[in-house]
Amino acid sequence: MEARNSFILIFLIFTFMAVLDGKFTSNTCNHDQPEIHFPFKINSFCKNKQTMIKFPNYGDLGVKSISYDHKKLTLIDPKDCVFEVFLNLNLDRTPFRYYHVVRNYTFLNCSINLLGSYEEIPCLSGSKHHVYVVDSSLDVPSSCEPIKTVSIPFAYSNYVSDDSFGLDLTWDSTGFDDLVEAKRGWFGFQSIREAISIVILVLVVMVLACVKAYCWKTSERKKNEWDKLLGDLETL
C-alpha cells in the first residue's frame, strides 16, 4: 500500500511539473518559426506549422517575427488582406498598439470607381462596391459612404504587396515584464476550469503527502508500542 501511494505521489508531482513547464517555457511550431513564450504563449497555437496568435476581439493572425528586446511583434494576415485587419482589429482592450506612428483614416464604400489619386482596396471591393481608405480630413465624395474611421499606420497603396506590411505591434512594458510573469504566472492558464484543475491537483498531492506522513507516524507509534510491550513481557 505504501509503495503504491508513493508511486501515485511521484506520478502526480511529475504531471504537475509537466503542466507548469508547458505554460512557462518557450515553444515553436517549426524550426524556422519564432520562439513563443510569455506573454504570447497565452493565446498562441500552431496551425499548419505556422505560429498563430488569437486576438479575442478579432481572430487569428500569424506570427512572422518577434523581437523581445525591441518589443516588436510582426504579424501576418492569413487572408492576405491587411486593410481588413486594420478595419476590424481593435487594440484598445489589449496591451498592444501599432509599432509605427498612426493617423486617422476613413474607409469609404463607393458605388462607382473614384478617379484621381484614390486607390481601391481589391480584397475589400467587389463588382458593385469599391472600398477606399482616405485621410479623415478629406470630404466624402457624393457616391461614397463612410464605413469607419480608424487610427492606422498608412493609407492603402498598390505598392503594398507584403501581407505583413504595417502589422507591426508593440506592447506595454508595464503589463508584460518578467516580474508579472513571476508573480502572476497563473494568468497563463487558458480557462478557469484549467486553473481549478491545477489547484485540485496540487491539493491532491498535498493530501497524499499528508496521508503518507500520517501512515508513517502511525506505523512508528505502533512499532514503539509493540517494542515496549515485548520489553515488558521480557521483564516478567
Question: Domain for residue 168, yes or no?
Answer: yes
Give the C-alpha separation, 196 to 194, whole Å.
Answer: 5
Beta carbons within 10 angstroms of residue 34's beta carbon: 19
Residue 183: what pLDDT?
A: 39
Residue 222: what pLDDT?
A: 66
Question: Domain for residue 202, yes or no?
Answer: no
For residue 3, is pLDDT > 70? Answer: no
> For the residues 161-180, what does the mean pLDDT come to?
67
Question: Domain for residue 153, yes or no?
Answer: yes
Tell me the whole-structure pTM to 2 decimals. 0.61
Model pLDDT for residues 70-114, shown as the tens digit of each residue: 889 999 999 889 999 999 998 887 888 999 999 999 999 999 999
Residue 189: what pLDDT?
A: 47
Give the C-alpha separation, 197 to 219, whole Å.
Answer: 33
For residue 16, is pLDDT > 70? Answer: no
CA torsion through residues 119, 123, 127, 129, sign? negative
Number of separate domains in the chain: 1
Question: What does the angle CA 191 – CA 194 – CA 200 come to, to the nearest 5 degrees?
Answer: 145
Residue 142: what pLDDT?
A: 94
Residue 28: what pLDDT?
A: 62
Model pLDDT for residues 181-223, shown as the tens digit of each residue: 443 443 444 444 555 666 677 777 777 777 776 666 776 776 6
Model pLDDT for residues 20-73, shown as the tens digit of each residue: 444 444 456 766 666 666 556 556 788 888 888 888 778 899 988 888 888 899
Domain span holding position 167: 33-188
Residue 66: what pLDDT?
A: 87
Question: Domain for residue 144, yes or no?
Answer: yes
